[in-house]
Amino acid sequence: MTLDLKINFPNLSEHQLTQLRSLLPFYQEWNEKINLISRKDMEHFMLHHVIHSLSLIKFMTFKPDTDILDLGTGGGFPGIPLAIVFPEVKFHLIDGTGKKIKVVKEAITHLQLANVTAEHIRIEDVTSTYDFVTARAVTNLADLIRLARPRIKSKNINARPNGLIAYKGHPLKDEGVAVRKKPHEIFMIEKKINDPYFEGKCIVYVPMY
């Protein structure tokens, strides 16, 4: 088991590693003011939130000017770590809880992330369209597909078609019905990051076009 960012993600620059490591003290400070993350989770913050968010880059990459909507971002995951890794990709982080977005905006300022915006809004009220929609610990796959589809652009610019990227537990069980008859890929995180925490955790990619 290793939590070393440089070992797990050897292609990251020193600047990116510094930004990612700075997330722990930042969220520790804010978590004392606003209870964003449970105490148990804070003890494993880098693994449960930062490395989990970054696990996507083991399976997918994005071209410059890709637009990504992070649905139900909470405290900014996976959006903030991914925005650090993909500085030329545009991220829009949304959540229905205002206090969470307040912290996300503070994180954006703290990290000086020019490629990220954050908004207190429900996805039903979002009128823009994006290449991909990401979601982590939000809702079931069927609802995610329903909510994401109208917000996905029809023109593809990346190697993989535009679509939904959902961080999930595996096996999908009842949720699997939503994608059983649809094209999709399931990326098993444990195959790329050797840590017991990722046993039974996956990323589900559902192309829309």
Q: Could you read off the pLDDT of 171-187 as tens digits, one per residue? A: 888 777 778 778 899 99
Among 170, 188, 171, 203, CA closest to 82: 203
Could you give the angle at the alpha carbon of 77 between the alpha carbons of 164 and 81, nearest 5°? 100
- For residues 120 and 36, the model is more confident at 120
81 neighbors 99 (Cβ within 8 angstroms): no
pTM score, whole prediction = 0.95
Instruction: Assess contact for 87 and 62: CB atoms under 8 A.
Output: no
Domain 5-207 belongs to what topology? Rossmann fold (3.40.50)
**Summary mean pLDDT of the chain:** 94
- Res 209: pLDDT: 80
